[in-house]
Structure 1
């Protein structure tokens, strides 16, 4: 219930029920996760005061009210009722829970050690409440699925169960493994003795792709997934697509809208209809930026299902209304969250997921790309005068790894040593180098002093790049019709420019491409407007190779949605260019 009107409707519904069906019944109004409404900018709970303390001549409220919350409400509301606080369970309660969930776990010492391991980790974890009781319960359920008798198999079972349920912490709060480039599980690192593991296992890691694939194939004790992304969500989407294809699963991707008219219940309801369709079909549903409906999906994210007639049903809430929808046994939800936005999520939301961190470099396993990433970062820092962003537009923490991964994939076995791969990366960087930054790097930087032959060669590479949009179109062959079976990656591009947003590019490019249509993204008011523009472009009689030019500010919140919709809806004989207008201050990542 996200508004005052919604809460009022709930009490009116209770009143109608009493008047029409049961005048002598005791009516209870139950608010689940009432703390979420407390955090809402609409302040919807202000109308509760009159219902909790009705005033003279009444001596008590008309209806009983119960609210469940993960954090305290304000004093004005709590003083109008009885507040019960449930502290974290002690180790004795944890042991009883483990015995109930895992019948094969009967050894008293095992129970004590596993309960002690979680309790100590929970008290000392670097991010408060990042992991909680749900993580522990599903850890125990994973053990219950197969609790082996022999010691070595038991260690392996505990290790994988811990890695599945206690990962996902940001790299900044974790020590890195000495034996791998990815990050070990802090729960295992801190509590390996209590878990009955060997010390070397505390530094061992598991591949994220394997963990995601294991989750998608696990129908008994797997939760929905939260993938914490660094440097964009493309890597995480690719990872889920790979894991789903290996499992023979269908994947659906949904990206939320940030347009002003899409902050309504109507838009939220349209999203919920698409989500329920995926739930019924058993898809792997990837969600990005759908915060507007997270509150409606808490039962689904909790995997709190009701079985009726041999079918799993789940309650989906919207305002004061709710509906039951069928949930296929294979359905799995994957929420993508940028690492920089992680602190905005509440603990109750985080604890519902199996969490993993996804980064480009963490997914690398071969020595040549990993070494190239290190060398490229070192050289770029030596070339920085005064900052990296002054040379390379849009440089961020994952840029080096992303560039190396892309160049390595395109070159294949042709680049079999780090120096050769590094040379190709510098050639690719020439396309995003500023002229003044390049001149400072090649004349004044420490890198120019260490490698005397490098400045002249790279300067020539930068000047050889297209210096205008018409030159870029000609260099990439976009003045010609689209070749048959050209993939979307060859027909869609994103370009950054420091030119003003109001330039008339239709006049500039009408002689350069077979046909052109322009869309001012920031002038649109809803996702429906964007969809109409894409449909109009596809329905026109423009020739093959025609260009859809989308312009917006470089820091526009709509970029992710536009990229997703254009990539998925672009007709096979057309091209699209997303042009991001900005300046160096806007384009420099805040966490770089």
Structure 2
């Protein structure tokens, strides 16, 4: 059997291939169930690419039918009608006349996601998967067990978790495939590869008992780590430190809300019998260094940037827009308009279709696509996020379901890159196969923001803190009670906006130029006053000071003139009207 270059014949792959051939040829429905990265999709692709009927290169395979894949991407939006259409499409191949016997194979990817659909689409499988009447090959791929009514109608194969030997074999196969065309094999020590595999296995065993992080890292993180380390070491110069590069790659692939990089690095050094390296490179690269490397190289997996709140995400997006163009950056944000929603967080089919078409068009171009608040569509994009593209004519293709019935092959430009923003509190809702497809990093604003901006933001936060009375209650008032959407990150964004509005660049010495500092602080205080709550004058009245009285007067002076009629009059007097949102 011919295997693609760089394919490791580990336990999971050989078991999957053996069962798939036996079940497909005998038209026995089979469901492969296992964690992301355990060779489910790869084994299906290998079997289909080898069984070509009389055109097969293997003599035995020439006696078997030619397999024709009928692919279907499961999602939480799919319906029963769409699955029925897949079986009807497979029936057409049975009626087709050909020199060799054709056997259509329905490949139902992410069948577990389809089970979560509100339309209950898998009920149509009950009659189609009866062994006595099954006319096609059927392969379902899932990351978790389905309910008993589906599992009882198919052969169920649970893909085993890899042991250390499997991990080392896979890692060495990746190393061999990447270095086969280079003269740098001797430079990469097998001890490094073996120690990385052993360290990952230790991490896997460590987080398996912690339910909140059980699926946060997976085999795709490990495979990406090995590829990144090999790529870095192949480019090493004589004076470069290979362990420094290895430490950076561990951080790139095992970072996030749960930082597994420190655990990995410690155990890597233990298995390498070089604990002195642990202290030497204990400090991991900063967030801005990692972001700069990922956005500049664009060779690894797509990025997931995790923020505590929308202010952090806003600034990270602004940073990317400002620093990493060209290539051009485009942003798609999930809609909150009632016309795009059916109810709650369920979007209309027209809206989903429109956004997916935008993504398909962007994927054909060398752009960086930023996606925010689009969780309702991410399961439609699993094949794109997987980056295991089908190649035809030196071009890359993936499948993106457009509605329940149409799953086209979409062109993906070789320089296309994707960044997904996610809020920390939303990660618990994300499926393991979605999380495992990305390099995950928590946004650290302090590493992105210029120190002068941070100095001004700290001064402004101190000013706000001094406004609060200290002899009332520890829990009231707090800054968030007085100012809408208050957070330290909001204050930092406000300072940056003030510098931009006042045309003061960070090259100007804000720390020593009192005039510029006063301009920025005055602008920020004015904006804060405009976004203050009704509690502000009440709280200010508790502190007898000239500054408190001045703030109270300014508050009432501003709010006295705030009305919709005044807003319209002021807007009509302007030559250029600013974008405004009116509640």
CA shift, 1:96, in A, is 0.6
Which residue of 94, 98, 102 maps to 2:175? Answer: 102
In 2, the alpha carbon distance for the partners of 1:511 and 1:375 equals 37
Does structure 1 residue 399 correspond to structure 2 residue 490?
yes
Aligned to 2:199: 117
Aligned to 2:255: 167
Residue 577 of structure 1 aligns to a residue in which SS? coil
Does structure 1 residue 30 correspond to structure 2 residue 104?
no
CA shift, 1:303, in A, is 1.0
Does structure 1 residue 224 correspond to structure 2 residue 224?
no
Does structure 1 residue 321 correspond to structure 2 residue 406?
yes
Matches within 5 A, 1:314-393: 314-318=398-402, 319-364=404-449, 366=451, 368=455, 372=459, 375=462, 379=466, 385-393=476-484
Change (3 A) 1:470 1:369: closer
In 2, the alpha carbon distance for the partners of 1:192 and 1:427 equals 54
Aligned to 1:255: 333
CA shift, 1:438, in A, is 4.1
Q: Choose between structure 1 and 2 for higher RCO, CA contacts under 8 A separated by at least 6 residues.
A: 2
Q: Is the 8 A contact 1:165 1:355 kept in 2?
A: yes
Residue 408 of structure 2 aligns to a residue in which SS? strand
In 2, the alpha carbon distance for the partners of 1:185 and 1:427 equals 44
CA shift, 1:33, in A, is 1.1
Q: Is the 8 A contact 2:468 2:477 kept in 1?
A: no
Change (3 A) 1:376 1:457: closer
Change (3 A) 1:28 1:260: farther
Aligned to 1:568: none
Summarize deviations over 1:7-55 as a string: whole Å, max 9, x none: 111112112332344796433211111111122233222222222238x
CA shift, 1:466, in A, is 6.4
Greater shift after overlay, 64-73 or 117-126? 117-126
Summarize deviations over 1:291-348 as a string: whole Å, max 9, x none: 3432332222111222222322333333332222322221101111122211111110
Aligned to 1:271: 355
Does structure 1 residue 13 correspond to structure 2 residue 98?
no
CA shift, 1:99, in A, is 0.6
Does structure 1 residue 579 correspond to structure 2 residue 582?
yes
Summarize deviations over 1:272-306 as a string: whole Å, max 9, x none: 32222222221111112233432332222111222
Which residue of 57, 66, 72 maps to 2:145? Answer: 72
CA shift, 1:109, in A, is 3.4
CA shift, 1:237, in A, is 1.1
Does structure 1 residue 61 correspond to structure 2 residue 61?
no
Q: Is the 8 A contact 2:175 2:230 kept in 1?
A: yes
Q: Is the 8 A contact 1:91 1:115 kept in 2?
A: yes
Change (3 A) 1:260 1:207: same
Structure 1 unpaired stretches of 5+: 176-183, 474-504, 516-543, 546-572, 581-592
In 1, the alpha carbon distance for the partners of 2:141 and 2:407 equals 18
Summarize deviations over 1:112-151 as a string: whole Å, max 9, x none: 3211111111232461211111111111001111325979
Q: Is the 8 A contact 1:385 1:440 kept in 2?
A: no
Does structure 1 residue 141 correspond to structure 2 residue 243?
no
Residue 158 of structure 2 aligns to a residue in which SS? coil
Does structure 1 residue 210 correspond to structure 2 residue 289?
yes
In 2, the alpha carbon distance for the partners of 1:154 and 1:122 equals 24
CA shift, 1:379, in A, is 4.9
Summarize deviations over 1:451-484 as a string: whole Å, max 9, x none: x7xx5313412431465578369xxxxxxxxxxx
Change (3 A) 1:408 1:472: same
Change (3 A) 1:313 1:439: same
Aligned to 1:52: 129
Q: Is the 8 A contact 1:94 1:115 kept in 2?
A: yes
Change (3 A) 1:90 1:24: same
In 1, the alpha carbon distance for the partners of 2:424 and 2:513 equals 29
Aligned to 2:511: 416
Which residue of 295, 309, 314 maps to 2:393? Answer: 309
Greater shift after overlay, 385-394 or 127-136? 385-394
Change (3 A) 1:118 1:376: farther
Residue 26 of structure 1 aligns to a residue in which SS? strand
Matches within 5 A, 1:550-561: none
In 2, the alpha carbon distance for the partners of 1:334 and 1:291 equals 13
Which residue of 159, 169, 181 maps to 1:86? Answer: 159
Residue 222 of structure 2 aligns to a residue in which SS? helix
In 2, the alpha carbon distance for the partners of 1:20 and 1:100 equals 41
- The two structures have a TM-score, normalised by structure 1, of 0.69
Change (3 A) 1:470 1:511: farther
Across the aligned residues of Structure 1 and Structure 2, the Cα RMSD in angstroms comes to 3.5
Aligned to 1:514: 572
Greater shift after overlay, 190-199 or 385-394? 190-199
Does structure 1 residue 429 correspond to structure 2 residue 507?
no
Q: Is the 8 A contact 1:51 1:61 kept in 2?
A: yes
In 2, the alpha carbon distance for the partners of 1:402 and 1:442 equals 29
Change (3 A) 1:329 1:403: same
Summarize deviations over 1:412-434 as a string: whole Å, max 9, x none: 55642899789766665333333
Aligned to 2:38: none
Change (3 A) 1:305 1:41: same
Q: Is the 8 A contact 2:221 2:253 kept in 1?
A: yes
